[in-house]
Structure 1
Amino acid sequence: MVVQPAGTHLAQLNVGRARFATDDPRMAEFMGALDGVNALAERSAGFVWRLQSEAGNATDIKLTDDPQFIVNLSVWETPEQLEHFVWNTVHKRIYQKKGNWFEPRATPHFVMWWVPVGHIPTPEEALARLAHLTQHGPSEHAFGWESLPNVKLWMNQRCA
């Protein structure tokens, strides 16, 4: 179990490979929901920052050679506040349909880690944390919901 150190916030990265190009009609429901979900995140208690392009989302930020590799990177004050946004808002409805839009992954797609208050993680830093989780399992350096003792809603949902 990991406990939030004083003077830190929680960073999270969620990655996926879209089944289709973002302009494909089969991605329309997902793409159409992004602005609303992102706006809700920004209004949510505990929200600090999220990765976004000039277009206002991160779907056009390419971190790999794969044009269908999509990332979501954000920072929250506490795990409980991220948990509330993920499982108690419209985000949950979108998450429950992820199989319609994203390919299953054989490796972890979600990672969290502590960052000093005021630190904005880079996408490269985030991908390195995901790689660490994949290679070494949960630790203080990189972890999933199961490592956080005060959040439990994921147990009924399986986000990571």
Structure 2
Amino acid sequence: MTSYELAQVNIARLKFPLDSPELKYFVDNLDPVNAVAEASDGFVWRLKDETGDATDIRIFDDEWIVVNMSVWRDMDALKTFMYHGTHRELLARRHEWFERVREAMATLWWVPAGHRPTVAEAEDRLRLLRAEGPTSGAFTLTRAFPAPEAASQVALDADGQR
């Protein structure tokens, strides 16, 4: 069993209110996509309130930003979920519902197994990525860093001893 899991956060600035006709398709697919995520191999946890939803959870104190945060066994498990089924379709259509922004709106980081990140932690990780670019503390799908024990194993393999 690994001692680290992969946390991810992605946020988006809405173009329209959540209850608007323009966002109906997106909102109607939140529960089905979340159900698929929760049933996916490698899924560990996702941020949600008592209703089972995260659309009322604020990040960066901005009512127009929605947040999605989850924890996965590893990068492969997250990617498998992200790029298949309805989630893939919603991802492809995101510009219909969300504003285009220049700053980083998604990041990944390793957490000790069992840790459940907070919104404040996610804000800190996004700020770190925005300020420093990808680092082992906040990285992207295209510039990923290994889990701490994987990094130790790479070092061990390279010199043959610890």
- 1:1-160 → structure 2 map (5 Å cutoff): 6-148=2-144
Tell me the number of residue pairs that the alignment of Structure 1 and Structure 2 aligns.
Answer: 145
Q: Give how far 1:149 is off.
A: 7.7
Residue 60 of structure 1, CA deviation: 1.0
| Structure 2 SS opposite 1:145 | coil
What TM-score comes out, normalization by structure 2 length? Answer: 0.86
Aligned amino acid, residue 122 of structure 1: T
Moved more, 50-59 or 94-103: 50-59
Question: In angstroms, what is the RMSD of aligned CA positions?
Answer: 1.4
Identity of counterpart residues, as a percentage?
Answer: 41
Q: Which ranges in structure 1 are unaligned for 5 or more consecutive residues?
A: 1-5, 151-160
How far residue 148 of structure 1 moved from its aligned partner, in angstroms, is 2.9
Structure with higher RCO (Cα < 8 A, 6+ apart): 1
C-alpha distance in 1 between matches for 2:137 and 2:131: 12
1:57 is displaced (CA, Å) by 1.4
One-letter amino acid of the counterpart of residue 120, structure 1: R
TM-score under structure 1 normalisation? 0.87
Runs of 4 or more off by more than 3 Å in structure 1?
Answer: none
| Structure number, greater radius of gyration | 2
Alignment gaps of 5+ in structure 2: 147-162
